[in-house]
Amino acid sequence: MDPGVTAALAIGLTQYLVVLWPAGAGRERALAIGLIWILALADMAGLRLSASALNLLTAAKVLALAGVVVFAFAAGAGSWSHYVPFAARRGATPPLGEALGLGLIGAFYSFGGFWEVSRVAGEIRDPRRNLPRAMALGSAAVTALYVLTTAAFLYLVAPEQSASAPEFARRAGEALLGPSGPAAFAAVVVLSVVASAMALMLMAPRVYLAMSRDGLFPAGLAAVHPRTGAPARATALLAALASTLVLSGTFAQILAFFMCTTLAFIALAAAGLFVLRKRDGAAGDLGAPGGAAAPALFVLLLLAVMAFIVRARPLAALGGVAVVLAGLPTYRILSSRGALAPQRARGDAR
């Protein structure tokens, strides 16, 4: 998931970057790989510095999106008729199952990632208090921004007028700001994606670090930089795998390849709450609003999305499953060669 999301973010970003820098057209893959390694090096500088930069980028991103929403409706450059239900529109439309699957894949980039903050729980001040607040407030803010931004874009451009995200953004920019609009909207997208990619590359390597210490990943990846404390080797691994994916396919191919298996493991993680509850003999709810119903509904939603994706992109979904299954013999080989050495005996392990 982590290399796939990173690669898709980077290669998708270049579609907007060339709007700001036309000379980059034809060099999209090189630009994507360059972005990945720039962000990786920034995250290797340490948690404090990279977190400060990420906070600034996120604040600018929220302000930019809020500005687009306010200006779109205030300028009156769109039409309320664009909200007419799609079923009432004339013209060819894809099958409902395929449309839902592909639409939810795109929406994943807005709601996906809320769990990333848990990966730095060990480095957060008072995590029992601050982690739940960060998840709740962050998810609420993203939901509000997503709904409002989508409403603003639909107000500016009718859905059937464009066949791709870059084309949709270009038309929305022209409707709002005229000839200078596409560049302005492209800048907002670039800012948004850079912030998301930096957050992922900051938090994801912490999992590889913990897995290495537990003997579930190569022991060499458990090393941290002596000065910054950053998991430099794990971050470099993520950047290398993401770069390989950038070279291997298009944005749509990368997305379809990792998405189904990603959602499967997210569903397993949520279902793990019930296992913990049974093991620990906990009574009552699971500490979440709605009790057991909340994770149960979440798992059911993910299973439904997976079914839509498999129906829409069966070969890509099977390819992702094949790669995951290949991890089983790989783990056995590494384990038999002593490359996986648990470090529970170390003083810094919990």
CB distance 261 to 255 below 8 Å = no
* Choice between 258 and 241, residue whose per-residue pLDDT is larger: 241
Identify the top-confidence range among 168-177, 202-211, 238-247.
238-247
pLDDT tens-digit readout, 121-152? 777 788 888 888 888 888 888 889 888 988 89
Residue 264 has pLDDT above 60, yes or no: yes
Span 270-289, average pLDDT: 71
Identify the top-confidence range among 2-16, 46-60, 332-346.
2-16
Residue 196 has pLDDT above 50, yes or no: yes
* Choice between 199 and 343, residue whose per-residue pLDDT is larger: 199
pTM for the model: 0.76
- Going along the chain from its start, the domains and CATH numbers come out as 2-249 (1.20.1740.10)
Out of 88-97, 104-113, 319-328, least confident range: 88-97
Q: Is the dihedral of CA 60, 47, 143, 1 positive or negative?
A: positive
* Choice between 280 and 26, residue whose per-residue pLDDT is larger: 26
